[in-house]
Structure 1
Amino acid sequence: MAANQQVKKMMQGAFVLFVASLIAKILSAVYRIPFENLVGNTGFYVYQQIYPFYGLGMTFALTGFPVFISKLSAEQSTEQDRIQLLQQIFVILSVFAVGIFAVLQIFAEYLAVAMGDQQLAPLIRSVSWMFFLMPMLAVGRGYYQSQLNMVPTAISQVSEQIVRVTVILVVAVLTVRYNWSLYKMGCYALASATVAAIAASVVFAPFYLKRFFKKNKDTTKFSYVNLSQRLFTEGIILCLFASILLLFQLVDSFTIKKTLVVLGQSDLTAKITKGIYDRAQPLVQLGLVISLSLATSLFPTLTQAYQQHKIKQFHKTARLGIKISLILSAATTVGLISLMPQINQLLFKTSELNLTLSLYCLSIIFVTLINSYNAILQSINRYQITVSGLILALGVKISCNTWFMHLFGIQGASLATVLALMLGLGLILLLLPRQVKGYLKDPKLFWQLSIGLVLMLGVVKLSVLITSGWISSLDARMQAGILTLVGSVCGAVIFIWYLLQFKILTIREWLTLPGGKKILKLVQRKKG
């Protein structure tokens, strides 16, 4: 009975965290659209150049380290041991945070020069202050997650995003109103990270005031050396996985603008081009929202099935997860690519670098499948395989970015991203243990899916072509909005019809999809 209660609590916690994560991801993607509209391509470039530093810090504080800390904390038999462990981890993370802060403060000029823009140095120093809050957030989240209480974690995650997005958009409005320089705007916008981290930390105040600061008899019960080794191997591995796209963005920050200047663009044109290239980030994030959330929600179910030796259920769930992830991510990617000129115009005022952005959107498929396989591998404690794939992917991105740009221009950066993720996924599939191989070995599914995607692409393009003739007198952005809406609806309807007509998904699989139950009811009504 107690075991069932534990499982029920875990599933409820996973759902709470899933909803919070979904809200945070949507906020993180959506705010960049009005922000870019307010500050322009150059302003977006200024912000995006330094954004990966914030992203990595928040990955340490809100995702990577908390998961590992919760695991260590849950292993302790008494509350006193748990608090002692957390106190020592807090000390280690504090030293780490001060180290990162010092490096960013001292070497800000060097890092800015390495990015090809010395004016970015104050922005690097601005974002560095948030690292002081990292130990408090990581330990607080880790503690509550070990207790299977995900509510404080969820509140901290959502409140951090709401506060940060609000500050950033207020700064963007003030920049336009008072004609601030774009670099001043960047400093204030990135300072939002520290303000947001403080707001997120307030959620954990009860834990720190009532439990954490109690004195313990043994102040060094656990070995600092051993804890540090585990924290900076297993913990960092979790951080690496959660931040792969951020690391790719960091590579872009250090290579794209400089390479564009070498290729003959003026300094200002290179900044504008990089700003337009960075439009891909919110598009990909929005494309990943549903598929990544699906992978997150699968993890507790897979872990539970594996731990209870329900191997048949485990394989059924894993195979279903991979299949749905592939279908959703492929449909999202093709939809974005087919409507890229219109989406680009609608969201960002101009339709530029459509091919570059379309190529980048292909990464949605590979990131989704990597995440889904990671959920499967984590559930059987074989996460090292995913890490191997991600290290390869990062190595390929670093090696190819500048080289590909010399060959293909700005499109080369998108190609390097897609190739890196493709090879990373390939290595993961190659290294998969026998027990979880074969989930993607279904030629019939690939053929059926390919035909459905081509059909959807054709219908979208045809609907856009027909509709554009009727609305040619309207403003360009208004046209883009109508064409995006019409194309999206037509594409979604024809793709869903195709899936139903050829029974590519079973009824059980439809019920797993967001909104699947409503779609099935609608179809049954029409048949009736």
Structure 2
Amino acid sequence: MQRKILIKGTLILTFTGIATRLIGFFYRIFLSRSFGETAVGLYQLIFPVYALAISFTSAGIQTAVSRSVAREHTLHRDKKCTCLLYTGIGLSFLLSMITMYLLQHYNSAIAIHFLHEPRCMFSITAMSYAIPFASIHSCICGYYLGLKQTRIPAFSQLIEQTSRVVFVCLLFTVFTRNGSHANVALAVAGLAAGEFFSMSYSLYILRSKQGITLAHSQATPSMFLSSLKELTALSVPLTANRILLNILQSIEAVSIPVQLRAFGMDTNNALRMYGVLTGMALPLILFPTAVSNSIASMTLPAIAELQASRNHTAIKIFVSRLCLGSLLLGAMCSVVFLFGGSLAGIWLFHSSLAGKFITTLAWICPFLYTNSILTSIINGLGKPFISFLYNSLHLIIRILSIYIYIPQKGIYGYLIGLLFSQVLLFFLSLQFLYRYFQKGETL
């Protein structure tokens, strides 16, 4: 029964993940052709700030809600599950409002001193409105993932992506027909629109279809206080890990255009190359993660339940099969990208540079896809510090490659560092899991 639920949930998440990525693909093609490669670079430049804001407000809380709800649901404590959900929403929403204010108040300082690009100032303000909607949406998704009910998180993801694309395309059409200049900030505003509609759908399902409301939860104040303590204890280390990792990722992202200028490029060409890499080539390489990320989303609550039942052997078998399957997926994708990458870059994006990047990045696929699952497994085993340590090390290697090799070899120096860091993360994670099961730790 456990296996059927896992497979069904993974298939639902995979199907919607593929659908949203297909929509996202055409959307990126639309952006590159409508706004230009430099504008895509500016658009991609704000995502480190967005990821950092999401990490602070909801990412750790969502994982904590998912893990706690999975355990309480196994013990048939439905009232506690509802209490955990609303406590998570309240905590996440409060943090999101603080974050939105800070982003709007310090948008100029962030754009100039952190991103080194004053043109991102308005985009930061537009992006900030997405944070409160995303906080509520993510907590509800975490709740349903903990229950292994993947249809609602999956469909809300599809709504988020679809509404974002429709919103931006409509605004772009209105602007161009009126003879006005369409700025890439329209695409940033689409983030807020997408999160608003996905949040609205999630709340509607929560209240009308599932009948889950705060008034009917029959939870006592002491139960809410207990839930707050539990979620705080779980989410604080997860949030701290995500924030520190995203700070490293942000340093990595904003440093690439700067070091490309040190290599000898002007600002526009540096942004163009950054936009092609992060807005065209990498999304194509990451497309199959619709499968691996779906598996990873189901892995954490599944392992939490197996831990609750203290089934050590089942976890070992589960982990080995997941790793083998993701490696096979990565190997097949490597072959496809290696031989078809150049054609894909020209056909999809009208960019030969994107094709070169895709071919170079093809070797990373087996490690990249498996690492997301390995990280989820380690977190599910209750070892978030280990995953944080390994991810920090692999990001530091990537950052060092930016400062050491980009000024000497250009962007390809960074790609070499990216491959090496993913390989290192893969083997470190496998070594930890091997030692963990060899010791036969109490789960």
Task: Report if aligned partners of 1:68, 1:235 keep a CA contact under 8 Å in 2.
Answer: no
State the shift of 1:421 in Å: 1.8
State the shift of 1:73 in Å: 3.3
Out of 217, 221, 225, the position equivalent to 1:218 is 221
Give 1:188's aligned amino acid. Answer: L
Distance 1:270 1:177, change over 3 A: farther
Distance 1:299 1:112, change over 3 A: closer
Determine what percentage of the aligned residue pairs are the same residue: 18
Distance 1:13 1:345, change over 3 A: closer
State the shift of 1:197 in Å: 1.0
Q: Match for residue 101 of structure 2?
A: 102
Distance 1:27 1:354, change over 3 A: closer
Task: Report if aligned partners of 2:328, 2:366 keep a CA contact under 8 Å in 1.
Answer: no
The reply to whether residue 326 of structure 1 matches residue 330 of structure 2 is no
Structure with higher RCO (Cα < 8 A, 6+ apart):
2
The reply to whether residue 17 of structure 1 matches residue 16 of structure 2 is no
Distance 1:107 1:365, change over 3 A: farther
Distance 1:169 1:330, change over 3 A: farther
Q: Match for residue 120 of structure 1?
A: 120
Distance 1:198 1:223, change over 3 A: closer
State the shift of 1:195 in Å: 0.9
Give 2:37's aligned amino acid. Answer: N
Task: Report if aligned partners of 1:160, 1:200 keep a CA contact under 8 Å in 2.
Answer: yes
Q: Match for residue 470 of structure 1?
A: none
The reply to whether residue 430 of structure 1 matches residue 426 of structure 2 is no
1-structure distance, mates of 2:300, 2:219? 36
1-structure distance, mates of 2:80, 2:317? 39
| Stretches of structure 2 lacking an aligned partner (at least 5 in a row) | 439-443
The reply to whether residue 412 of structure 1 matches residue 413 of structure 2 is yes
Q: Mapping of 1:438-477 within 5 angstroms?
A: none
State the shift of 1:435 in Å: 6.1
Distance 1:390 1:25, change over 3 A: farther
Q: Match for residue 459 of structure 1?
A: none
Give 1:329's aligned amino acid. Answer: G
1-structure distance, mates of 2:84, 2:297? 27
Q: Match for residue 233 of structure 1?
A: 237
Task: Report if aligned partners of 2:281, 2:345 keep a CA contact under 8 Å in 1.
Answer: no
Distance 1:277 1:153, change over 3 A: closer
Distance 1:69 1:363, change over 3 A: same
SS at match of 1:185: coil
1-structure distance, mates of 2:329, 2:232? 40
- Quote the RMSD (CA, aligned, Å): 3.6
State the shift of 1:282 in Å: 1.8
TM-score scaled to structure 1, two decimals? 0.69
Give 1:283's aligned amino acid. Answer: L
Task: Report if aligned partners of 1:35, 1:169 keep a CA contact under 8 Å in 2.
Answer: no
The reply to whether residue 88 of structure 1 matches residue 87 of structure 2 is yes
Distance 1:294 1:66, change over 3 A: closer
SS at match of 2:36: helix
Give per-residue Cα distances to partners, 1:334-359, cap 9 Å, x unaligned.
33133333222212223126544433
Q: Match for residue 190 of structure 2?
A: 192
Give per-residue Cα distances to partners, 1:128-177, cap 9 Å, x unaligned.
11111133213322333344433222221111111112223445555666
2-structure distance, mates of 1:316, 1:231? 28
Which piece of structure 1 moves more, 184-193 or 280-289? Answer: 280-289
Q: Mapping of 1:171-190 within 5 angstroms?
A: 171=171, 181=181, 185-190=183-188
Task: Report if aligned partners of 2:346, 2:355 keep a CA contact under 8 Å in 1.
Answer: no
Q: Match for residue 401 of structure 2?
A: 400
Query: Which structure has the larger Rg over C-alpha atoms?
Result: 1
TM-score scaled to structure 2, two decimals? 0.81
The reply to whether residue 46 of structure 1 matches residue 56 of structure 2 is no
Task: Report if aligned partners of 2:346, 2:354 keep a CA contact under 8 Å in 1.
Answer: no
Task: Report if aligned partners of 1:74, 1:147 keep a CA contact under 8 Å in 2.
Answer: yes
Q: Mapping of 1:28-43 within 5 angstroms?
A: 28-43=24-39
2-structure distance, mates of 1:46, 1:175? 20
Task: Report if aligned partners of 2:345, 2:352 keep a CA contact under 8 Å in 1.
Answer: yes
Give per-residue Cα distances to partners, 1:447-485, cap 9 Å, x unaligned.
xxxxxxxxxxxxxxxxxxxxxxxxxxxxxxxxxxxxxxx
Q: Match for residue 342 of structure 2?
A: 341
Distance 1:305 1:135, change over 3 A: closer
How many residue pairs end up in the alignment?
Answer: 427
Task: Report if aligned partners of 2:375, 2:429 keep a CA contact under 8 Å in 1.
Answer: no
Q: Match for residue 286 of structure 1?
A: 287
Which piece of structure 1 moves more, 113-122 or 315-324? Answer: 315-324
2-structure distance, mates of 1:167, 1:104? 23
Task: Report if aligned partners of 1:29, 1:285 keep a CA contact under 8 Å in 2.
Answer: no
2-structure distance, mates of 1:160, 1:372? 24
Distance 1:357 1:103, change over 3 A: farther
Q: Match for residue 507 of structure 1?
A: none
Which piece of structure 1 moves more, 25-34 or 212-221? Answer: 212-221
Distance 1:102 1:422, change over 3 A: farther
SS at match of 1:286: coil
2-structure distance, mates of 1:336, 1:305? 37
State the shift of 1:205 in Å: 2.7
State the shift of 1:361 in Å: 3.8
Distance 1:149 1:428, change over 3 A: closer
State the shift of 1:62 in Å: 8.3
Task: Report if aligned partners of 2:70, 2:304 keep a CA contact under 8 Å in 1.
Answer: no
Task: Report if aligned partners of 2:58, 2:135 keep a CA contact under 8 Å in 1.
Answer: no
